[in-house]
Structure 1
Amino acid sequence: MNDITIGADISKDHIDLHSLPDGQTLRVSNDRKGFATIVRWITEKGVARIVYEPTGPYHKAFEQFMMAQGLPLSKVNPRLARRFCEATGRLAKTDRIDAELLARYGQLLEPRTLKANPQIHNDLKELHAARLALIKDRTATKNRANNLTSPLLKRHNADRLAQVERQLKAVDHAIMTMIGADASLSARFDILVSIPGVSQITAFTLLIEMPELGQLDEKAAAALSGLAPMTRQSGRWNGRAFIAGGRAIVRQALYMPALVACRFNPNLKAKYHQLKAAGKPPKVAITAVMRKLIILANALLRNKRKWTPKSA
């Protein structure tokens, strides 16, 4: 394979591509005809990776088509890509420039390539995105109820809340049905719910939002979930460590299980009280328990075994 890196800037109507080190460029329409043109364009290149940013609904068809062709894709965080662009001193921003800078980002930093996701994971991801939107809608509807005085609007608001609850149940049932119909996902789900404090909702959130679980080492699992502490040190100064980055949805899903684990999981309960006794703030101790939970889930999935309490 030649060391060719392609940057792809994806917009609603078209895709701009830039190839390095040869510097060739291409613009195609963002549709199947354009995707086929891209495949023909790179057939002779022996591409190491195609680097692109997620752009809402506009990148999904491109991603699925290229994965079906077996091409190496690297989906990078837009914030990190933008900071890389700023570090190069390029202040201008156009689609062609963005494609070139994405290619340079991929060539220098070699971001990891995606593994092909089966269609079931794409369907689950779509259902879970709808579920998160419904939860936001439910919260907004409940908050709105506190400020309404008109009887008509109160009835409308109550009807909307009941509708959201019905839709949430339907989405949850669809997610559980899909997981139950897949032997691999069902086995992974059973392992996760065996951990004290991990509910069905938390389990399917981890399966959907962090499918890499079970294939990572401890540090990578903590970092990917955004629960790895970031050290701050310069000369003689030592700042307070903090967590940053990672997948916010995973962190949010682990917060309540961590609170439950602090009470009912003997090992994590001992860890929590140990940190509190050492003078750590409660939030820091809970974050440490969340990190332990994701590391535990990763280890159990890697070893394909359910949680069992440690013998005294």
Structure 2
Amino acid sequence: MDSAMTAPDRSGSSDASANTATRAAGIDVSKASLEIVVLCRDADHKDTDRSVSRSIPNTEEEFDKLREWIDREVEVDLERVHVCLEASGGYERPVARYLHEQNVTVSVVNPRRTSAYADSRLNRSKTDPVDARLLARFCQREEPSSWQPSSSEQKGLKDMTRGLQSLKKERDRLKNQIDRSSNPTVTSSLQSVLESVNEQIDQLEKAIDEHVQSCQTLARKRELLETIPGIGSTSAALVLAELGDSERFESARQAAAYAGLTPAHHESGSSVHRKPRLSKIGSSRLRKALYFPAISALRCNAAIKAFGDRLAERGKAKMVIIGAAMRKLLHICYGVLKNQAPFDASLHPGT
């Protein structure tokens, strides 16, 4: 499905400047379609109103047409195009991966960032073309960091662990229904479904283990994580799936920020002094993966236990201590993976 294209206005610019200009592009992603807007940015970095736009179906068969359209209409090498997309529940991944393979710089950004940017520009309309143009402007102004696709092994692990989490959520829901049910017929039916779900959980856990063992890199990383008291086989697989490649983070704090485990402070002047809280702006799945391991580590990991005891002595609430333990545990996971060395308790004396 092709929509009408807006021809670029090249008045006042030479062919040479058009060829040397860089282009920022925004793609508004939905399940069915992609709305693309490409802006110009001249060498002096001054904004212009020139743009081209197009809408195509969000299918892999149409991605080649997108590349051909950029070549034909935008008149710039693909290496000079920077495309910005919002994280859209996975619908953005196929086109992001395709464009990355075509040597296009791709950024996949948190929708909260672009929403705040829209508010700062006092946007009054919200349509697919408007959103795509906003993403292009955001890309042009902010130059967000580039996105790197996961390896096929990493993607497979993430898909399986997320499937496992969904099954476990369904198992808990069925258990709650069974506990509330007073009808023997309903209870029997629910028990039958629960048994089936438990079988699927066992099969998927076995498949995850086989998948990790089949990949030398993943197997080594899981082995390293399992040296940390509190981290078991299943938790290690979840952390690996959601954290991804530790090399993409410059520090443990950056990894903690990715998980939304860094403290958010609320202070202003002399009257506003709220207690710090976890920011929770980040991967909720990674936080969930660390919750029960942190509780376990507060009992069996001497480094984290000492850390938790010190917070308790200062009168910190239970959930504050658990949140701090989750952050500390992620710091340790990052260090183990970054240094490719097993957990060494001597590096965390009385932490």
Q: TM-score, normalised by structure 1?
A: 0.93
Give the paired residue count: 312
1:243 is matched with which residue? Answer: 278
Given the alignment, which residue of 133, 143, 146 partners 1:110? 143
User: Over the residues paired in the alignment, what is the CA RMSD in angstroms?
Assistant: 1.9
Give CA-to-partner distance per residue, 1:256-307, whole Å, 9 cap, x none: 1111111111111111111111222222122111111111111111110011
1:47 is matched with which residue? Answer: 80
Tell me whether 1:174 sits opposite 2:210 in the alignment: no
Given the alignment, which residue of 120, 124, 133 partners 2:153? 120
Tell me whether 1:281 sits opposite 2:317 in the alignment: yes
Tell me whether 1:3 sits opposite 2:22 in the alignment: yes
3-state DSSP of counterpart to 2:51: coil
1:212 is matched with which residue? Answer: 245
> What is the distance in 1 between the residues matched to 2:314 and 2:344?
28
1:259 is matched with which residue? Answer: 295
> Contact 1:127/1:171 (CA < 8 Å) preserved in 2?
yes
> Contact 1:214/1:297 (CA < 8 Å) preserved in 2?
no
Given the alignment, which residue of 256, 263, 279 partners 1:229? 263
Amino acid at match of 1:233: E
> What is the distance in 2 between the residues matched to 1:32 and 1:247?
27
3-state DSSP of counterpart to 1:73: strand
The percentage of counterpart residues that share the same residue type is 27
3-state DSSP of counterpart to 1:20: strand
Q: 1:262 to 1:13 in 2, by over 3 A?
A: closer
> What is the distance in 2 between the residues matched to 1:191 and 1:2?
47
> Contact 2:160/2:208 (CA < 8 Å) preserved in 1?
yes
Any residues of structure 2 matched to 1:59-98 within 5 Å, and which? 59-98=92-131
Any residues of structure 2 matched to 1:159-198 within 5 Å, and which? 159-198=192-231
Cα drift, residue 214 of structure 1? 4.7
> What is the distance in 2 between the residues matched to 1:54 and 1:109?
17
1:20 is matched with which residue? Answer: 39
> What is the distance in 1 between the residues matched to 2:248 and 2:35?
33
Tell me whether 1:29 sits opposite 2:57 in the alignment: yes
3-state DSSP of counterpart to 1:82: helix
Cα drift, residue 215 of structure 1? 4.1
The worse-fitting range, judged by mean Cα deviation, of 80-89 and 295-304 is 80-89
> Contact 1:9/1:53 (CA < 8 Å) preserved in 2?
yes
1:201 is matched with which residue? Answer: 234
Q: TM-score, normalised by structure 2?
A: 0.83
Higher strand share: 2
Structure 2 gaps of 5+ residues are 1-19, 41-49
Structure 1 gaps of 5+ residues are none
> Contact 2:161/2:237 (CA < 8 Å) preserved in 1?
no
Give CA-to-partner distance per residue, 1:90-139, whole Å, 9 cap, x none: 12111100100111122222222111322222222222221121111111
Cα drift, residue 49 of structure 1? 2.4
Cα drift, residue 27 of structure 1? 1.6
> What is the distance in 2 between the residues matched to 1:74 and 1:206?
23
Cα drift, residue 2 of structure 1? 5.0
2:5 is matched with which residue? Answer: none
> What is the distance in 1 between the residues matched to 2:221 and 2:229?
15
